[in-house]
Amino acid sequence: MNGLWKAAIATTALIAVALTGCASGGSDDTADDVRELVVGAADPVPDLTPGRQSNVYGLMMSVFSPLTFIDVEGELEYVAAESVESDDKVTWTITLRPDWTFHDGTPVTAQDYVDSWNAVALGTNAFANSGQLASIVGYTDLNPAEGEPTTDEMSGLQVVDDHVFTVTLTHADSQFPVQLSQAQTAFYPMPQSAFDDLAAYGKKPIGNGPLALTTEWVEGEPLVAERFDDYKGTESTVDKITWVPYSDRLTAYTDALAGNLDLSAVPATRALQVSSDFDEENIYSFSAPGMNFLGIPYWDDRFSDIRVRQAISMAIDRDAINEAIYGGLNKPATAWTPAVMPGNPDGVCGKYCEYDPDAAAALLQEAGGFDGELTIHFPGGAGHEDLFNAIANSLRQNLGIEAVARPSVGWAEFGEARNTQTLDGPFFSRWGALYPSQQSTLRAMFSSAPVCKNCGGALSPDVDAALTQADLTGGEDGTAYGQVQKILAQNFPIVPLFDESYNYVTSDRIEKLTASGVGEPILTEIVLTDD
Amino acid sequence: MWRFLARRLLELVVVFIGVTFVIYCAVFLLPGDPIEALGGDRPLPESVQQQLREQYGLDQPIWQQYVNYLGGLFQGDLGTTFTGQSVSEQMANRWPTTITLALTAWVLTVLISVVLGLVAGLRQGSAIDRSVLLGTIIAESVPVFVMGITAQYVFGIMLKWTPIAGIGDGWPRAFILPALIIAIYGLAGVSRLMRGSVIDTMQSDFVRTLRAKGLARRSIVGLHVTRNAAAPVVNVLAIQLGSLLGGTVVIEAIFNINGVGQLLYKAIQDQEGTLVVGVATTLVLIFLITNVVVDVISSLLDPRIRND
- Tally Cβ neighbours within 10 Å of residue A304: 13
Distance from CA of A235 to the nearest CA of B (A): 31
Separation of alpha carbons A47 and B85, rounded Å: 9
Q: Give CA separation, A54 vs A404, B38, B107, B219, in Å.
A: 33, 10, 41, 65
Q: Do A123 and B51 touch (CB under 8 A)?
A: yes
The CATH code of domain A6-247+507-528 reads 3.40.190.10
Return all residues near A22 (Cβ < 8 A) that are at least 6 apart.
B169, B172, B173
Return all residues near B248 (Cβ < 8 A) that are at least 6 apart.
B98, B101, B102, B105, B178, B182, B257, B259, B260, B261
What is the model's pLDDT at position A23? 38
- Residue A130 has its nearest CB partner, among B42, B45, B115, at B45
**B227 and B239 Cβ atoms separated by less than 8 Å:** no
Among A6, A20, A45, A254, pick the best mutation site for testing chain B contact (most B Cβ within 10 A).
A254
Task: Name, of A40-44, A162-166, B283-287, the range with top average pLDDT.
Answer: A162-166
Task: Name, of A42-51, A107-116, A124-133, the range with top average pLDDT.
Answer: A107-116
Separation of alpha carbons A100 and A233, rounded Å: 9
Separation of alpha carbons A137 and A154, rounded Å: 6
Alpha helices (runs of H) in A47-143, residue ranges in sequence order: 57-63, 110-121, 139-142
Architecture of domain A290-500: Roll (3.10)
- Tally Cβ neighbours within 10 Å of residue B218: 12
Q: What is the largest CA-CA distance in chain A?
A: 95
Which residue does chain B place closest to A148, by CA atoms?
A: B51
Average pLDDT over residues B233-239: 77
Q: What is the DSSP string of A433-502?
A: -SSSSHHHHHHHHHSSS-SSTTTS-S--HHHHHHHHHHHHH--TT-GGGHHHHHHHHHH--SEEEEEEEE
In percent, the amount of chain B with pLDDT more than 90 equals 10
- Residue B48 touches chain A, beta carbons under 8 Å: yes
- Residue A128 has its nearest CB partner, among B39, B46, B255, at B39
pLDDT tier, A1 (very low <50, low <70, confident <90, very high otherwise): very low
Q: Do A251 and B266 touch (CB under 8 A)?
A: no
Residue type for position A105 = G
Q: What is the pLDDT of residues A53-67, one digit of tens each?
A: 988 999 999 999 999
Return all residues near A476 (Cβ < 8 A) that are at least 6 apart.
A76, A174, A175, A177, A178, A342
Separation of alpha carbons A167 and A170, rounded Å: 10
Distance from CA of B180 to the nearest CA of A (A): 9
Which residue does chain A place closest to B154, by CA atoms?
A: A258
Distance from CA of A151 to the nearest CA of B (A): 15
Contacts A20 to B, Cβ<8 Å: 161
Q: Cis peptide leading into B172, omega within 30 of 0? A: yes
Q: What is the largest CA-CA distance in chain B?
A: 86
Q: Inform me whether the pLDDT recorded for A6 exceeds 60.
A: no
> Regarding predicted confidence, which is higher, A3 or B104?
B104
Cα-trace Rg, chain A = 25
pLDDT tier, B2 (very low <50, low <70, confident <90, very high otherwise): confident
Q: What is the pLDDT of residues A324-341, one digit of tens each?
A: 999 999 999 999 999 999
Separation of alpha carbons A490 and B116, rounded Å: 72
Q: What is the pLDDT of residues B138-167, one digit of tens each?
A: 988 998 889 998 998 899 888 888 888 887
- Residue B37 touches chain A, beta carbons under 8 Å: yes
Contacts B119 to A, Cβ<8 Å: 4, 8
**A176 and A93 Cβ atoms separated by less than 8 Å:** no
Q: What is the pLDDT of residues A444-494, one digit of tens each?
A: 999 988 888 888 877 677 899 999 999 998 877 888 999 999 999 999 999
Separation of alpha carbons B144 and A371, rounded Å: 43
Contacts B83 to A, Cβ<8 Å: 45-47
- Residue A127 has its nearest CB partner, among B48, B160, B271, at B48
Residue type for position A478 = G
Average pLDDT over residues B1-24: 81
**A430 and A414 Cβ atoms separated by less than 8 Å:** no
Contacts A249 to B, Cβ<8 Å: none
> Regarding predicted confidence, which is higher, B284 or A320?
A320
Q: Do A4 and B262 touch (CB under 8 A)?
A: no
Which of A144-148, A245-249, B287-291 bottoms out in mean pLDDT, i.e. has the lowest?
Answer: B287-291
Which residue does chain B place closest to A27, by CA atoms?
A: B169
Task: Please state the domain extents for chain A.
Answer: 6-247+507-528, 290-500
User: Coil, strand or helix: which one is A51?
Assistant: coil
Q: What is the pLDDT of residues A400-451, one digit of tens each?
A: 999 999 998 878 889 889 999 999 999 999 999 999 999 999 999 999 888 8
Instruction: Please give the ipTM for the structure prediction.
Output: 0.78
Q: How many helices (H) and strands (E) does chain A have?
A: 16, 19
pLDDT tier, B306 (very low <50, low <70, confident <90, very high otherwise): low
Q: Do B172 and A22 touch (CB under 8 A)?
A: yes
- Residue B84 touches chain A, beta carbons under 8 Å: yes
Separation of alpha carbons B186 and B183, rounded Å: 5
pLDDT tier, A376 (very low <50, low <70, confident <90, very high otherwise): very high
pLDDT tier, B304 (very low <50, low <70, confident <90, very high otherwise): low
Separation of alpha carbons B274 and B84, rounded Å: 12
Alpha helices (runs of H) in A212-248, residue ranges in sequence order: none
Contacts B39 to A, Cβ<8 Å: 54, 128
In percent, the amount of chain A with pLDDT more than 70 equals 93
Which of A68-72, A174-178, A385-389, B137-141 bottoms out in mean pLDDT, i.e. has the lowest?
Answer: B137-141
Q: What is the pLDDT of residues B38-69, one digit of tens each?
A: 877 788 888 888 888 888 888 888 888 888 88
